[in-house]
Each structure stands twice: as structure tokens, then as C-alpha cells.
Structure 1
């Protein structure tokens, strides 16, 4: 069915508004349009409201993200409204106003859009508008900025009563094009989509100009000695060193994925004298603190502090933060409040270095950081013309622990087995490594694609979804410096590493008398030495995080089976197999499990076989190379060919949560080779 012209215009307007971060934050605000359509049940005209539903983002809004409601029914809810103490009940009533099937669930702001007497309404969260909304004298500043064209509406939690309030303000001020909502954002309206958009942009740009013209030049105060940003290379190195510790602290109650930001705005804020006071006040807009928590954790040391001093102080501050957050919860919780959701920070600020943000996945962590950047911009604007004065702590708690927000969290799908896990897979640009990376991402992990071939690694990372799911690093596993850099990249991208798969390898298949010392050294450098170096760096990160972890070695049937013309490869696989046992015994006290997978005959998609190994093995067995997979299958007990995805299945089985008490194990993935049975 064709989209109604008013709904189509609404989508186009939403996309334009949502494409510019100056207009609203990610997933923030909502837009609506009213129009007449034919009721298929009666054939008569019916007035409808199309409004952005719960969740979603204006910039990418689709028709399925709109809720369509009958306007007469929605407006009739005024007659049954039980009052502000029971206004949450009205959200369920919206379902009885829906028109047709499908579409999004109506959001808490639906009443605002339906009750305002205007054909089009935009509710947005621009930094400039929130700066006025959170200024101590915001009402006066709004009047100075806009005259009578924009009206001040005192803070009220989003809901049915706020919709009534704004509708009354518009009725009493026919000259107004919109309003500033105290502590919250802006709302604009118009009789056409074009007029509504123009009014919204006028409010936003006028507020921006007012703050720029009236604002003092250094609203965050003077620069503190020692708090200036470190040089970029030193800053990134310090961030990578601190990230696993900070992620471990932020994951005390629930595992988290991390994100790091060192934009100029963040670094300038942390260099200024007023940042401790302002950070302690917390954010104000409901969208902000729902994602950033009531306040961040701020390291109270200069950038000149040593990494050891910073780490020790972060541990102390984290303990204080948890105690303070528990006290905040206890101050405001009632008998029917949802249980505390965790007392760890979502935002950690380190002067001279930047901001670490955390969430249940990479996108959530990244967006939390974006929201705190919005909050910094809001603080700057408010302090430039007045004093930053966010909503009261009790109101923040009412929204953070809102029953409706709790219900939304409960409706979220069950996390995938590897959700919040960060994996690094060597040799992930092709073959078995690629299949493992694909499976780990499919099961919820963030993955670092480590490969000697930079082009292959980048292509795989892009195909797996890009930087919110996978990043590529170029790694020669014989090079300690490159390995260390790969783990630094993982720390900056995701906060650390929980799961490492030693898969990188080559294979040299020659008889003993034809195997050179160089062959032997190359084989052992890449697989035995390389696995050792990668595992050592992984253990450093995992121990610093304190979250346990998994090391998985892709060994081989040849680790236990003595085949012909294969001395260098099989010996190094036996080395890897024993590393599994040695490291399982050593790292168990840190909660790090070490296991292995012993594949055999993985021909299809294999980089090793494509590099000449297949031809060598085929010659050894006296068969055509293209028949090698079939040959390997027929010598197995199950008569089945082993594919890269079968090895990936074994990695998931070892790391996906069911084998929590298993370490030091080797899992054969060879379709049954009796000579390779473990004894």
C-alpha cells in the first residue's frame, strides 16, 4: 500500500533533521504529522496521527518506525486521564488508538504530538536548545533570545501531562512557533511540514547564535597546569594501556563493551578548571543520562601522572563511585522501584587522554560517548551565558528507574551467547580464521580481524559489519611489536580482549631429508613462537581486565598423528598442542580457559592448501589435487568432508558459555580419524 503523502513528507523531514547532529542526538526526539485518510472499515474519512514510535533514529526512520493512531480516540483520552500520579497508564491506552496493523509501538511522547493543535510537530534535543533549557535562568534567557515567538515550559517528566501542558501553552500563545522545555529540549510546530521544519531550525539556529554572541569565551574556566591533552601518540598509547583496567572496573556488575573518544571537545573540557564541578552535576536531558548514567567517573589526576598512579587511583575512585551510586539508589528508591541495574559507571573521563564509554554492545558504548559529548556541549552553552543547572537528582532517578523504561529493557531480545565478548582471531583474512570470525560476530562478539594480508583483513571486517562489529589489524605473528600493537588496537576499538584464537599458520610438507633448517625455523616461528607471543600478550590484557577469558589454539590432527613427509608442520602442531596444556595449568587461577581444536583435511577455502600445501599433500597420496577433500573424507569414520565452518562451530562450543568448567581440552574436528584419537 502506498504511503500517505503526509507520512511520506514526515519521513523526509525526519531524515533531514536527523542527518545533522546539531538538531538532535542519536535516537533523540520525535516528529509527527496529522492528516486525513480513508478508514477501510467504513469507507469514511478519518483523521490520523503519524508519529515516530518508540526507539529508532530520525535520520534512518522508515515507514515501519511510525505509529499511526486515530486522532479522535487519542484526543478522547483527555476525558479518561486519571491525573499525573497515574499518567504512565496512558501509554497502554495508546494501543486502543492505533489505526490498522503493523508499525511501531507508540512512545511516551505520543500525547504531546496528538494534543498540540498543529498539523505537524517536531520534538528535538539540540545542544543549543538544551543549553538554554538547563541554564539557571533559562526562562529569562529564552525570552531574551526569542521574544514571544518561543515560550518556556517548566520541567516536567515526559508523559501525558507534559502533552497537556504544551497544548495549553500553544493555545494561550497563538503567536508562538514552539517552546523550550526546561531541562529537556525543544518542541516546534507548523501547519505544513515545511513550516514545522523551518520553525524547528529557526529555534535551533537562533539559540546557537545567541549562545555564540552572548557567551563568554572560556565557559569552562582556565586551563589547569598538567591537565592539557597529551600528544596524540602518547595519548593513544596511554588510553590503550588503561582501557582493559577501566573496562574491567566498568564490568564489575555486568560485562561491557568499551569505546574510546579523544575529540578536541572532550580534551578541552577535561583540561579546564570547572570540569570536576560540572561533571559531578551530571547530565539533564532524559536521553542523555539514560545512556550515560547520572554522572561520570572522573580521574582526579593530571595527565602528567604515571600510568601506575592513574591505575591505582582509578581503582579507588571506582570503589567510591559504586558506593555513591548505591547511596543515590537508596535515597530515591521506593518499594515498587525496579532493582538497581548495576553501580558501575558508563562514562569514565581521564584528563589529557579522553573518554571511555561502555554499553552492552559496541554501538551502545559508542552512542553513550556521543551523548556525553552532547552533554559537554550543553554545559558549555549554559555556562557561557549563565550557570549550568540540570534537573534535580530525584527527577533523574524517576526517569532512570521509570517503570516504563524497565518494561522497555525487558522487551529487548535475549543476548546472544557471545554478547559483550571481544575476540581477536589471527589469520582471520581467509579460510578457517575467516569462518571463525564470521561465527563469532554472528553470535554477538566484537572481533579484531588480525592477518598478515591487510587487504584481506579489511575486506572481512567490512563484510562483517564495520567498526561496530569488526576491525582489521595487520599482524605478522612473529613480530612482538606488531602483536602488541594489535592488542592496543583492540583496546582502543572495544576496550580489551576476552577471546583469542591462535589460527595463523603456514604448512611446509616435505620429507625429512628435503626439509631445510629455514623451513623448520619458518614453520616454528609462525605457529609455535607466534602462538606463544599472541597468548602472552592476550594473558597480559585478560589479567589486567580481571574478567577471565578464553584462549583457543587451532592445532591439528597432526599434533597426535604421525604422518609421512610432514616433520616441520606436525612438530610445530605438537608444540601448539602442548602450549594448550601448559597455559591451561598456568592461567586457570585468573579464570582464563585454554583449549584447542584439532581439525583435519580442511581443504575448501583454506589459505594453506591454496598456497601449495594441497598440491604437496596430493602428491604424497598419489591423487589429483582437486580430489583431496574427497580423499580426506573417505578415510574418516564418518565419511564427511570437514569445512572451515565446522572448525568455527567447535570454537563456539568451547567459548559460548556451555563448557564453563572445561580447560586443557583438545576437540577433534576431523570427521573421525581413529589414529588421532586422544589417549
Structure 2
């Protein structure tokens, strides 16, 4: 199959072809006969799905679905049975693999029509529609655990072997035009039919079946306000038909689009990139705090020329207020975005903050009115009334989600909506889904049930954590621990390559490509690598601004960076070594806290900071004066910061005994010197890690537990202090030293 990195590159290339002058483009067929030669039909279905899902111009993440009807051996009777393989609930075409597809007996699905009609005749249409999804489980082939999607009937009831349902921007532009059926006729003639908007499900499947019966010879159907569905009896032919139908709509729109006059032309000009970044770094933490009053969010900024063309336009306020049409869109973007009525050429940052606050208040009131107007007695409770998409003239679009991935998808969905509105307004008038229909989708009992089935969020979900010193040692080990708990991590290190390597290792492990701060304003993943010298205030400022641009703000900080100054051959430390020790171990921690405090104040959200000190801070001994006294000062700095940062932000410390494992403070020569000093047997042929293990074992003999101090133990202590487990603990230093009696409090 096409690998993830190839898909990301392909998507990036596709985006480059859309400009403010010419948005609509041709889609090339990517089908490779050699790639699928000898593959079974299910493997070919996965391949076809990945191709269609690899371009957001064709299909949004998680949207659309594909299917194949395959003859399979019944595990009970041993006879051949027709089985529908269809993308399962919650799947994504771009990343789908075989386990993402549901399998159902085709004949049993067709038999459900009789049950549906019997229930429908009682006048209970909505209960009938909803109850059908429960019946799909009775049609499951071979105990497949993948739940079928609500679109299963669309694929089952179409009398062809292969079906593609996609959400292409050019086709939805036609599907949302007020004269859509006429435009469809002009573009496709008699080869495509039209079905007015219907909520996805059983009734729509029946309508498609009826439309095909009444229009023999058609190749596809445009679903009003929704998308495209087409079919064939050969899977390659079905895929290439999808491409052909999309390109016909794109051709038509390309010939008619208004270029730089789209959306009524420009009303505002964008700020230049440098100024945009300066304004965003100041505004984003405030904005994040405002939208996170009920649920905390992670942000994604999109400020490409095409997006800004829409936001800066005369018609943007009108079109934004209409909201989106495709149901997959507004499930992510809510009923509409918040358009911030700010003039980038005249307004100040303080004006912008005031306008945001006023706009959010109005948005919440509108959302509550929307909910109360359209709800019924069985409706779930109102969800978070804050917007997930915010449009600011001159700056761009800020999308929000519970994690980085979700906020990127939200941005992707509204990007598609912008393209849809551009096309529709070029040839007609754009129409959004009626509010009641939108509400019925957003608060559909089946959608609510899906939300209720989702596992509880992880401890650090929705939180952005800066790990300082993440290029090696404790910091590098801590990053995956925090991500495993749902955290969004910025890996900071003096060594930029080491920081980026930590990020890359993690992103490769979770299949998300590379995240490097500053490489793409919207392209970071759940972890980014950032260069940062904590002794340099300007470097710290830039690093924190990189994090704000990547994620919208910062919640927690873990400082694991430290410096152990190496004495000269005579065991002496020069003045510069003393200065460097205090600059890193004391002043550096203060600079980080001082700079991030502005972000914390703007967000007005709870936060936490953990500083790694050392058991040496309370154990007097000869030979490491500068290190030990600097760590002692760091202990007291923690207590001072805890007072200064209260009540919203907690500040604590972790005091390990010597952690040799993976530490940049223990290069090979220092380890050998220490082993020699303590008369521990070793061979110079041994690897650095083997030598480190020997030194760690020696240090363990000086503790009460007699066990080496590990990275994992330090990470667990830091994680615990960042988490809610210690939500009432601040100003304390937790020793993780194996039991050094010399370090006992006295």
C-alpha cells in the first residue's frame, strides 16, 4: 500500500496547485495495475480506498466510504455467499487497512428492507431508521468485530459490485448550489442523477436504489448538499469513474470561477508573515483560554494565501454565518465558524482581544439558541458552545480539537468548505444545510451513542507540555511517557538535531511523519522538536513562541536539562565553569518560568511545572561544589516559583540520585573516570552502555534499596507531579534516589 509519508507529500503537492487565481484542478488517476496484481478483492478494496482518501480535495479525513461485493465461503454451510465489504464506522479511507472494513451478508441486508417498510408503515420513521443500525449486527459475516457505518445501505442497495462514495470539493460545490440540478445536467448530461438532501442511512439507501431503477444507464448520483456516489462492476473502473466525474465538475468550475474576485473580492489585506506570527503569539494563548472554558483545546493555524483570500473577502462574514453543508464538515466544524470582525490594517492587538471576547459571547448565545430552537425531548444535553473554527482577517484560520490530529482535521474540513463555497458562489448561490437538518445530524442519537462508546480521555489529553532537555537522558525518556498519557509534547533541547531526533522517533512510532517547529505553521504532529538555550532569554522566547504557533498555548513545563561542570585534570573548576553551572541549573530554570508565565497568565488555565534538581542539593560532599550548590539553589527556586505562580500553576521538583542511563552528563570518558576513581573493574572494550550499567550498579550499593536509579523511575515521578494525582501539591521536591540516608530531611 501507499505509505504514510508518500501520502503526506502527495497532499502537500496537491495543495500547492490551488491558488487565489485558480483553485479547481484535475485529479490524476494513481491506479497501478502492478501494485494489485494477484491481490484478492479485499486487498484491492483497501488499495482503492487509500488512493481516494489520500487527497483531501477528493475526500476528508474520516469521510466517505467504499465497498466491494465479494463471493466468500460461508464458514457454517461451506457454500458461497455474497458478502459486502464496506468501510466500517469511524474508519478513514486514507489510512484504512483490512481490519477497518465491516463484512456483512448481502442477502440479509436486502432482507432488512421488509422489516424497515413494516416499521415505516406504522408512522415511526425515525425510530425505524435508527433501529436498522442495530440490525446490521445480525448480518455480520464471519464474526467480523468491525461495526458497519450508517452508510452501509447506500452500498448494499446499489446493484453493482463496487461502490465509491466521496466528498469531492468540486462536486459538493455543485451539490450546494441553489440551482444544483440544472448545473449537474449541464456538466454530466444524463450520466448522473440528483437526489435531494437526505440524512445518511436506510432511507437514503432505498432512494438511491429507486433512482437507479428509474434512470437506467446512469453512472453516479449527486447527493444534494452531501457528495458523490458512483459504481461499476470492476473495481479499477469504479475508481477511475470517480476520478472522471470529479474532474468534469472541476473542469466546469475552473472555467467559471472568479479568481481574485471570488467571495466578492478583497476587503482586507493580510499582515505579512512576520507580523502575523508576532500577533498570533500574543493572541493565541488568550484565545485558547477563552475557548477552553468548558473543554481544553489544542490549536492549528492555517494562513496560506487561499485561506486568507476567503477570510479577507467582502463575503466572508455572510458565508461564514451560513455554515457548512456536508454533514461530515459540520460534525467537526460545528454549525458555523466564528468570524472575528477585526480590521488588521487599523485594529490593535488589544482591540482584537476585545473583539474576540465579544464575538465568543455572541457565538455561545447563538449556539444555545440553535440548540434550544431545534431540540426535542429526547435530545442529549447541549455540547460545548464554543467554536472549533475561528476566522480572523489578516491572520488566518485557527481550528481547535482535543488533540493536534483533531484540530488539523477540523482545519482540513473547513478548508474543503471554503473551496465548496468558492465554487458554488462562482456559478450560483451557495446554500447551507437547513438548521434543523444540521441539528438532527449533530445531535443524532446514533452520533451521541458513538460519543458515549468512546473510551475516556487519557490523563494528559488536551494538554501541551514543554519538555526542556528532551534530546537525551530523562527528557528523552519522558516524551513518550507523556504522549502515552495523551499529552501533546514540545521536545526542547540546546542541541536542535537531538530535539528533532526525539520528535522524529516518536512520530515515526505513531505513524505521523516528522514534526519540526517552524517547518509548516500547521504541519506539526503530537510532538515537535525545538531548539532552546535556557541561558538565553531570546532563545527561550523563540522556543515558547514556536510552541504557541504549533499548538495554541502551553499548559505544563518539565525542565530536565542540567549541567555538571567537568573539573580540570587537577580537579579544579574555573570561574567560568561556576558561572555556567548556575546559568543552566538555576537562572535557566527561572528564565523558562518567567517567560512561560506570560502565556499562563493570558490563558488563565491550570498548569504545572516540574524542575529536575538532584539529591546532591542536600548531600554535602567534596568535588562537585558548583553542581551541588547550584542544585541547592534550584530547590529553593522551586519554592519561590510555587508562591509566584499560584494559584493556577503548581511548581514542584524531582530530585534524583545519579541517573547514568542515557545521560548526556555521562559521556564515555566521564564514566571511565568514575569507574577508575571507585576502583570498579571494567574493560575498555565494553560498550558505553555496559560501562554506564556498571557505574549505576556501583552507585546503587550506596542506597538503602540497593537498586540502580532508572530513567523510567524519574519519568514516572515527573509525570505524576504533572498529572491530577498531585493536583494539591506545590512547592515540594520529591526524591527519587533509592534511599540516600544522607539526603533525609533534617
Deviation digits for residues 523-563 of structure 1 (CA, Å, limit 9, x no counterpart)? 11112111111111111111111112011110111122212
Q: How does 1:558-573 map to 2 (within 5 A)?
A: 558-573=616-631
Equivalent residue, structure 1, for 2:721: 654
Whether the 8 Å contact between 1:509 and 1:616 is mirrored in structure 2 is: no
Q: Does the residue aligned with 1:67 lie in a helix, a strand or coil?
A: strand
How much has 1:320 moved relative to structure 2? Answer: 1.6
Whether the 8 Å contact between 1:507 and 1:523 is mirrored in structure 2 is: yes
How much has 1:616 moved relative to structure 2? Answer: 5.8
2: CA distance, partners of 1:59 / 1:516: 59
Equivalent residue, structure 1, for 2:240: 198
Q: Does 2:171 align with 1:129?
A: yes
How much has 1:103 moved relative to structure 2? Answer: 4.8
Q: Does 2:60 align with 1:17?
A: no
Could you say if the C-alpha distance between residues 597 and 32 of structure 1 is closer, same or farther in structure 2, counting changes exceeding 3 Å? Answer: same
Whether the 8 Å contact between 1:527 and 1:576 is mirrored in structure 2 is: yes
2: CA distance, partners of 1:638 / 1:37: 61
Length-normalised TM-score, structure 2: 0.88
Q: Does 2:467 align with 1:425?
A: yes
Q: Does the residue aligned with 1:462 lie in a helix, a strand or coil?
A: helix
Q: Tell me which of 525, 532, 541 is aligned to 2:599.
A: 541
2: CA distance, partners of 1:149 / 1:288: 27
The count of aligned residue pairs is 675
How much has 1:60 moved relative to structure 2? Answer: 2.1
How much has 1:149 moved relative to structure 2? Answer: 1.0
How much has 1:20 moved relative to structure 2? Answer: 2.5
Q: Tell me which of 55, 65, 71 is aligned to 1:30.
A: 65
Whether the 8 Å contact between 2:170 and 2:249 is mirrored in structure 1 is: yes
1: CA distance, partners of 2:407 / 2:269: 25
Q: Tell me which of 82, 85, 99 is aligned to 1:50.
A: 85
2: CA distance, partners of 1:213 / 1:333: 43
Q: Does 2:716 align with 1:640?
A: no
Q: Tell me which of 360, 363, 366 is aligned to 2:405.
A: 363
Equivalent residue, structure 1, for 2:30: none
Whether the 8 Å contact between 1:321 and 1:344 is mirrored in structure 2 is: yes
Q: How does 1:40-79 map to 2 (within 5 A)?
A: 40-79=75-114
Q: Tell me which of 279, 292, 299 is aligned to 1:238.
A: 279
2: CA distance, partners of 1:612 / 1:284: 65
Whether the 8 Å contact between 2:75 and 2:142 is mirrored in structure 1 is: no
Equivalent residue, structure 1, for 2:733: 666
Equivalent residue, structure 2, for 1:459: 501
Q: How does 1:525-540 map to 2 (within 5 A)?
A: 525-540=583-598
Q: Does the residue aligned with 2:216 lie in a helix, a strand or coil?
A: coil
2: CA distance, partners of 1:652 / 1:421: 13
Whether the 8 Å contact between 1:267 and 1:351 is mirrored in structure 2 is: yes
1: CA distance, partners of 2:576 / 2:44: 69
Q: Tell me which of 329, 336, 341 is aligned to 1:300.
A: 341
1: CA distance, partners of 2:715 / 2:405: 25
Whether the 8 Å contact between 1:33 and 1:51 is mirrored in structure 2 is: yes
Whether the 8 Å contact between 2:571 and 2:623 is mirrored in structure 1 is: no
2: CA distance, partners of 1:526 / 1:43: 72
Whether the 8 Å contact between 2:57 and 2:416 is mirrored in structure 1 is: no
Whether the 8 Å contact between 1:265 and 1:373 is mirrored in structure 2 is: no
Q: Does the residue aligned with 1:100 lie in a helix, a strand or coil?
A: coil
Whether the 8 Å contact between 1:422 and 1:497 is mirrored in structure 2 is: yes
Q: What is the CA RMSD across the aligned residues, in angstroms?
A: 1.8
1: CA distance, partners of 2:737 / 2:578: 25
Compare 503-512 and 543-552 and name the one that shifted more.
503-512
1: CA distance, partners of 2:673 / 2:74: 73
Q: Does 2:149 align with 1:107?
A: yes
2: CA distance, partners of 1:258 / 1:612: 44
1: CA distance, partners of 2:305 / 2:438: 28
1: CA distance, partners of 2:731 / 2:362: 39
Equivalent residue, structure 2, for 1:605: 662
Q: Does 2:629 align with 1:629?
A: no
1: CA distance, partners of 2:400 / 2:156: 36
How much has 1:288 moved relative to structure 2? Answer: 0.4
Q: Tell me which of 513, 534, 550 is aligned to 1:493.
A: 550
Equivalent residue, structure 2, for 1:338: 380
Equivalent residue, structure 1, for 2:438: 396
Q: Tell me which of 559, 582, 601 is aligned to 1:502.
A: 559
2: CA distance, partners of 1:612 / 1:492: 40
Whether the 8 Å contact between 2:155 and 2:163 is mirrored in structure 1 is: yes
2: CA distance, partners of 1:623 / 1:41: 68
Whether the 8 Å contact between 1:74 and 1:94 is mirrored in structure 2 is: yes
Q: Does the residue aligned with 2:557 lie in a helix, a strand or coil?
A: strand
How much has 1:240 moved relative to structure 2? Answer: 2.2
Q: Tell me which of 560, 578, 583 is aligned to 1:520.
A: 578
Equivalent residue, structure 1, for 2:650: 593
Structure 1: runs of 5 or more not aligned = none
How much has 1:438 moved relative to structure 2? Answer: 2.1
Q: Tell me which of 300, 303, 311 is aligned to 1:259.
A: 300
Q: Does the residue aligned with 1:105 lie in a helix, a strand or coil?
A: coil
Q: Structure 1: which 4+ aligned runs deviate by more than 6 Å?
A: none
How much has 1:410 moved relative to structure 2? Answer: 1.5
1: CA distance, partners of 2:114 / 2:355: 57
1: CA distance, partners of 2:214 / 2:298: 48
2: CA distance, partners of 1:3 / 1:572: 67
Equivalent residue, structure 2, for 1:220: 263
How much has 1:292 moved relative to structure 2? Answer: 0.7
Equivalent residue, structure 1, for 2:34: none
1: CA distance, partners of 2:70 / 2:341: 55
Q: Tell me which of 455, 466, 484 is aligned to 1:413.
A: 455
Whether the 8 Å contact between 1:74 and 1:97 is mirrored in structure 2 is: yes
Structure 2: runs of 5 or more not aligned = 1-36, 508-513, 516-524, 683-690
Q: Does 2:152 align with 1:152?
A: no
How much has 1:35 moved relative to structure 2? Answer: 2.6
2: CA distance, partners of 1:320 / 1:412: 31
2: CA distance, partners of 1:572 / 1:429: 22
1: CA distance, partners of 2:556 / 2:169: 39
Equivalent residue, structure 2, for 1:582: 640
